[in-house]
């Protein structure tokens, strides 16, 4: 990762080296942070450049608020202020296509689990290619089912995008990499399919998309939601349902999605080839509907492209 020069921190733009926090920050000890991952893209209309846009900026920062609400963390800035900070960080670093990380965390002041430690905020941005490795959007990855399950209901809320949740993601992702796989897929405590370490899942059966429900210990992904809407509007059936593990092996096509992973095809799971072992036709169709939002071939009738210069 190449560090960006400028970071927004507690209301001001600062140099990378000045955006620091104390070793006694509550979040470092207790995982008390919430965050977002957002991408900006160069956009085009009729083949002509139409400036950079941040994909579903307001929806992401609204989810940041929802995550903070779950943990009873008072947010020090409004969604509009955080949106503005996101834009400022991208512009100040001279980026157009970037990955943004708004981050709110309990810092200093009081200590202990129930302390009303004040909430600090930062927004960073950096350049990031395909999250799961170069070329994976075209070739797909080999995945495995993790030996680690996601959180049981009413333990750690999977619906919050909170720092502490990513201890689970680290177990899943690190185990997969250690075993030589591109990514790990976790089961819920029910034994049914949940999601990837940091991505939601779509399985294809008979030309329809099947995705696991929010009750399966997953983050309700904004990419997942975008795919559901794009697919339904294109006349593709989408079913949200509980799915047993073995359906991973039996589906016609399989892909993961997320802001970082975008739409990453999966060509095998636990050594079983999926379909033809390469991105299938519906996966490619979804990729082109999704990336079409940026190259102009999919009209943005949803208002998802929020211009960088607003």
Question: Could you tell me which stretch among 76-84, 86-94, 196-204, 283-291 binds ligand PMP (CB under 6 A)?
Answer: 196-204
Q: Which of 247, 260, 243, 254 is CA-nearest to residue 173?
A: 260
Number of chain residues interacting with ligand PMP (CB under 6 A): 15
Question: Could you tell me which stretch among 94-102, 171-179, 214-222, 234-242 binds ligand PMP (CB under 6 A)?
Answer: 214-222
**Residue 193 interacts with ligand PMP (CB under 6 A): yes or no:** no
* CA atoms of 150 and 168, how far apart (whole Å): 7
* CA atoms of 167 and 178, how far apart (whole Å): 16
Q: Are 73 and 104 in contact (CB under 8 A)?
A: yes
φ, ψ of residue 139 to 5 degrees: the values are: -95, -30
Closest distance of CB 126 from ligand PMP, Å = 16
* Known catalytic residue at 14: no
**Residue 251 interacts with ligand PMP (CB under 6 A): yes or no:** no
Closer CB to ligand PMP, 13 or 197, in the complex: 197
CA dist 250 to 80, 148, 247, 269, Å?
45, 22, 5, 10
Closest distance of CB 119 from ligand PMP, Å = 20
- CB-based contacts of 304, cutoff 8 Å, min separation 6: 55, 56, 59, 226, 293
Closest distance of CB 118 from ligand PMP, Å = 25
258, 275, 279, 280: which one binds ligand PMP (CB under 6 A): 258
φ, ψ of residue 295 to 5 degrees: the values are: -85, -5
**Residue 212 interacts with ligand PMP (CB under 6 A): yes or no:** no
Q: Are 203 and 247 in contact (CB under 8 A)?
A: yes
Q: Can you point out the beta strands (E) in 74-198? A: 98-106, 119-126, 141-149, 183-187, 193-196
* CA atoms of 109 and 116, how far apart (whole Å): 8
**Residue 259 interacts with ligand PMP (CB under 6 A): yes or no:** yes
User: DSSP label at 160?
Assistant: S
**Residue 199 interacts with ligand PMP (CB under 6 A): yes or no:** yes
223, 264, 283, 287: which one binds ligand PMP (CB under 6 A): 223
83, 200, 211, 268: which one binds ligand PMP (CB under 6 A): 200
4, 221, 265, 279: which one binds ligand PMP (CB under 6 A): 221
**Residue 163 interacts with ligand PMP (CB under 6 A): yes or no:** no
102, 140, 163, 169: which one binds ligand PMP (CB under 6 A): 169
- 268: Cα within 13 Å, side-chain hemisphere: 9
**Residue 102 interacts with ligand PMP (CB under 6 A): yes or no:** no
Residues 19-48 binding ligand PMP (CB under 6 A) are 37
Closer CB to ligand PMP, 35 or 95, in the complex: 35
Chain contacts with ligand PMP (rule: CB under 6 A): 37, 161, 169, 195, 198-200, 218-219, 221-224, 258-259
Catalytic positions are 161
């Amino acid at each position: 990762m190449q560090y960006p020069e400028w970071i927004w921190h507690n209301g001001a733009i600062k140099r990378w080296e000045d955006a620091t926090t104390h070793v006694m920050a509550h979040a470092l000890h207790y995982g008390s942070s919430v965050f977002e991952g957002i991408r900006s893209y160069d956009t085009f209309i009729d083949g002509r450049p139409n400036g950079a846009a941040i994909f579903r900026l307001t929806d992401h920062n609204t989810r940041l608020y929802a995550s903070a609400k779950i943990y009873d963390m008072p947010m020090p800035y409004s969604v509009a202020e955080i949106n503005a900070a996101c834009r400022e960080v991208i512009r100040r670093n001279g980026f157009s296509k970037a990955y943004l990380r708004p981050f709110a965390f309990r810092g200093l002041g009081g200590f202990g689990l129930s302390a009303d430690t004040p909430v600090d905020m930062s927004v960073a941005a950096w350049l990031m290619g395909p999250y799961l490795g170069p070329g994976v959007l075209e070739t797909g990855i080999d995945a495995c089912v993790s030996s680690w399950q996601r959180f049981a209901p009413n333990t750690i809320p999977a619906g919050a995008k909170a720092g502490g949740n990513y201890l689970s993601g680290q177990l899943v992702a690190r185990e997969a990499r250690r075993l030589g796989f591109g990514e790990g897929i976790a089961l819920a405590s029910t034994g049914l399919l949940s999601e990837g370490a940091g991505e939601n899942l779509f399985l294809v059966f008979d030309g329809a998309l099947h995705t696991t429900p929010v009750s399966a210990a997953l983050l309700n992904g904004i990419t997942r939601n975008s795919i559901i809407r794009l697919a339904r509007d294109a006349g593709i059936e989408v079913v949200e349902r509980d799915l047993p593990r073995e359906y991973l092996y039996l589906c016609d096509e399989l892909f993961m999605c997320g802001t970082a992973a975008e739409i990453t095809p999966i060509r095998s799971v636990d050594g079983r080839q999926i379909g033809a072992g390469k991105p299938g036709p519906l996966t490619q169709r979804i990729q082109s509907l999704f990336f079409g939002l940026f190259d102009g071939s999919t009209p943005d009738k949803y208002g998802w492209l929020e211009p960088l210069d607003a």
